[in-house]
């Protein structure tokens, strides 16, 4: 990361329904930080905006529904490359603020162009989706996905 790398504060809702399923959204193949991957909705906090205002706005803009409740969970950060609608790319240092959210069950989800599909997924089936790396890490942190054994550290064994 250089001094010229932009920083973006990003609100991320983890939305569950009454059956405790989690809402996943799929990015189109030609845009976003994680093109053609499943993940969580969310977006940047605008200048002068409070994080809860940004969270409600992003849910309304991306999903077309109202936020009833939002509870902060944790934050994390990372350096990611974003693909813009014109095809240009730029590295961005992103700070993710994660929230557990409840949305109105009487409203129908209506995706904006930032996503091409959505699915309500039972936690036991999350691993069957091609999740982006940030969403996968989030679900690991929440205990919703197991860490693959290939990425777990192996204990050193002494020589005989």
CA distances from 22 to 80, 92, 149 (A): 24, 27, 24
Q: Taking 50 as the threshold, does the pLDDT of residue 158 lie above it?
A: no
CA distances from 146 to 27, 75, 112, 123, 124 (A): 24, 20, 31, 11, 10
Average pLDDT, integer, range 57-64? 96
Q: Where does 7-146 sit in CATH, by number?
A: 3.90.79.10
By C-alpha distance, which of 146, 51, 141 is closest to 101?
A: 51
By C-alpha distance, which of 11, 111, 130 is closest to 71?
A: 11
> pLDDT band for position 151 (50/70/90)?
very low
Q: Taking 90 as the threshold, does the pLDDT of residue 24 lie above it?
A: yes
So where are the chain's domains?
Answer: 7-146
């Amino acid at each position: 990361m250089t001094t010229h790398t932009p920083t973006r504060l990003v609100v991320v809702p983890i939305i569950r329904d009454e059956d405790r399923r989690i809402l996943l959204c799929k990015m189109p193949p030609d845009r976003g930080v994680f093109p053609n991957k499943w993940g969580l909705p969310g977006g940047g906090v605008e200048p002068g905006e409070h994080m809860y205002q940004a969270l409600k706005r992003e849910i309304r803009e991306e999903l077309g529904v109202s936020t009833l409740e939002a509870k902060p969970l944790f934050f994390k950060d990372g350096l990611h490359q974003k693909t813009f609608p014109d095809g240009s790319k730029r590295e961005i240092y992103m700070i993710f603020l994660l929230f557990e959210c409840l949305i109105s069950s009487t409203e129908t989800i209506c995706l904006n162009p930032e996503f091409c599909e959505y699915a309500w997924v039972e936690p036991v089936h999350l691993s069957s989706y091609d999740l982006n790396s940030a969403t996968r890490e989030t679900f690991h942190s929440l205990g919703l996905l197991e860490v693959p054994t290939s990425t777990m550290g192996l204990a050193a064994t002494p020589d005989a």
